[in-house]
Structure 1
């Protein structure tokens, strides 16, 4: 029993024109993961056929974003993830249209029903349409704050919430291990009831991994690619290998610390900010201005208020002094940078450098001076030629 690709019909041909009986499914909504196909019988044909028996030659139309599995007596006998029109041939082997999807034929070999040449059809045959599109709007959040080892704030507690998307990568595993024999429709809501706790537990482990990589708590929402990869790793055995599902994306919309952690974060931020002397000095100016305003409006008298302000101001000056000292240390005095002047013994030119700017004579060695009257270089307190005292 298997599917055979139907010949391409004319553009105006409808399903009813091509087959007397056919299965078709409109676009599956975001909430519909599996839907049982309903047999449609064309006008003029025998309408007394069983709903759960697929007649030889029945047509099956598969839309984009859909897959089909055919089940006989609870076992999968055929599947296709390739869109198009197909005809059911009860005498042929399964065609297994996997459209290049990895692992589907292996899954069929594990879970599918073995084909028996000449075997009689089962008493219950069903066509199920599988939603292969990305499934959006799967919300999650923490029930209580979780510990987070932040690289800056150390041990804090955070809450977070967001959304994730997933896809059914292996319809055979999903039907066999999750949905089972669906009477009509298997929805995302049903899947959420059993999967949400698993997802949140895996996400807690994933976020702890970000902490090990020194990601600050408020940068977690930026790590969407890493979150999706780590989540697939964490859920690989339970979701992918067993259920045929992969996580497509994880978006954390908001991360908030609890009240105690928020206070700690604010205190550490203040300490970091005021460790900068320039910021501390600016804060001091604001505090002094505020103190002066309060002193002026003191009901006990402005003088008493300003006495209190003076005591506070003195303490503030000690802090400001540290800032001033740093500035003064970093800036040498103008006088020292300029150096002393000396007079050239040959032409009397007053210089500041090591050589005379007019004749190039070197500056006399330390301890000597040149008489301004006759240019004699002396070492004592009086000129050795004219007796003029050293200035």
Structure 2
């Protein structure tokens, strides 16, 4: 038994213009993963009879099931005639590598005189990309931040939200291990919660892989392809090898760090930046300039404000020019311009000895 492509064999005299059974499948929406074949000309339901005509559309895969086991597959769009006397056809299409081992013994079954059963049923599998599946981390997940130059190695908590898409890449595994002989349809709603839970479990090691590559959490939305690949690796045993499903794309709509963790991280990064004497001096100079402006607004008079400012500077023991000297720069005492030469580039004042 097997299928004959009408596009190739339509000129054969054994084929007629009218078929007893005409089996097809309506367009499959995003939620329908498996459905029974529809018979337009008889009440046989999805039972396949000799010389039935079958239509397979783009985005669909046809399975023939006998006694609960898949015995034939059509993964290429087109019109076909079912011939019970023909060898299994196996129009694998893009599923050649994925399912060829499943059918390795079908040919020998018939070459040794085996007979096809009387009850072959037709099911259609949705092989399009199923898009718009949402995920979100109800609880924060850890993400390791490593910045060797800054001496930072800490775990922060992240929350991520976005969408992903999947595709059935092995219809035989999906039918055998997930849907089975469905009464009507097998919908994504039946499986979606389980998929989402497993996805979130795999997300933590996938993010850890990005962290090991030195990618910051704020850069994660730009590395979604690596995330999708890593998630497929983490989920291969449960999704690809067991259910015949793979992630096609993974999108990150937003990723948010815990406020306290983010504040700590920024504080450490700022402290590291001030190891550079020039940056430290510039920061102090800016603070002193602001303090001078604030002193001028002192309600007790500008003179009192400047007295307080001088006292604070002397108590602090920080000399901006000393810091600039360490960095090879100096601060003009007249106009507060940062310079590197012997004279101020703004007012011409000579560099202090």
- Give yes or no for TM over 0.5: yes
Change (3 A) 1:120 1:240: closer
CA contact (8 A) 1:3 1:95 kept: yes
Residue 138 (structure 2) aligns with: 143
1:29 paired with 2:26, answer no
Residue 128 (structure 2) aligns with: 133
Q: Deviations over 1:254-307 (max 9, x none)?
A: 321112211112212322333333333333343223323332333344433221
Change (3 A) 1:281 1:38: same
Of residues 67, 82, 88 in structure 1, which corresponds to 2:82?
88
Q: Deviations over 1:36-68 (max 9, x none)?
A: 221111xxxxx4x43243232211101122110
Alignment of 1:77-226 (within 5 A): 77-99=71-93, 101-109=96-104, 117-122=114-119, 125-152=120-147, 153=152, 154-226=154-226
Change (3 A) 1:333 1:202: closer
In 1, the alpha carbon distance for the partners of 2:105 and 2:176 equals 10
In 2, the alpha carbon distance for the partners of 1:110 and 1:194 equals 33
In 2, the alpha carbon distance for the partners of 1:201 and 1:324 equals 51
Change (3 A) 1:17 1:279: farther
Aligned to 2:64, what secondary structure does the other structure show?
strand
Aligned to 1:158, what secondary structure does the other structure show?
strand
Residue 230 (structure 1) aligns with: 230
Q: Which runs of 4+ in 1 moved over 6 A?
A: 328-334
Q: Deviations over 1:4-59 (max 9, x none)?
A: 2224699xxxxx96534212223322222222221111xxxxx4x43243232211
Residue 71 (structure 1) aligns with: 65
Unaligned 5+ runs, structure 1: 11-15, 42-46, 335-391
In 1, the alpha carbon distance for the partners of 2:322 and 2:77 equals 77
User: Who wins on radius of gyration, i.e. which is larger?
Assistant: 1
Alignment of 1:225-374 (within 5 A): 225-314=225-314, 318-326=318-326, 327=328
Q: TM-score, normalised by structure 1?
A: 0.72
What's the CA shift for 1:316? 7.1
Higher normalized contact order (CA 8 Å, seq sep 6+, divided by chain length): 2
CA contact (8 A) 2:47 2:122 kept: no
CA contact (8 A) 1:91 1:117 kept: no
Residue 359 (structure 1) aligns with: none
Aligned Cα root-mean-square deviation (Å):
3.1
Q: Deviations over 1:148-192 (max 9, x none)?
A: 221134221112222222221110000110111222222222221
Change (3 A) 1:318 1:67: same
Change (3 A) 1:333 1:75: closer
Q: Count how many residue pairs are aligned between Structure 1 and Structure 2.
A: 321
CA contact (8 A) 1:163 1:252 kept: yes
Aligned to 1:253, what secondary structure does the other structure show?
strand
Unaligned 5+ runs, structure 2: 11-15, 331-338, 344-353
Change (3 A) 1:213 1:324: closer
In 2, the alpha carbon distance for the partners of 1:139 and 1:294 equals 52
Q: TM-score, normalised by structure 2?
A: 0.79
In 2, the alpha carbon distance for the partners of 1:111 and 1:168 equals 23
Q: Deviations over 1:181-221 (max 9, x none)?
A: 22222222222122211111112111112223332222222
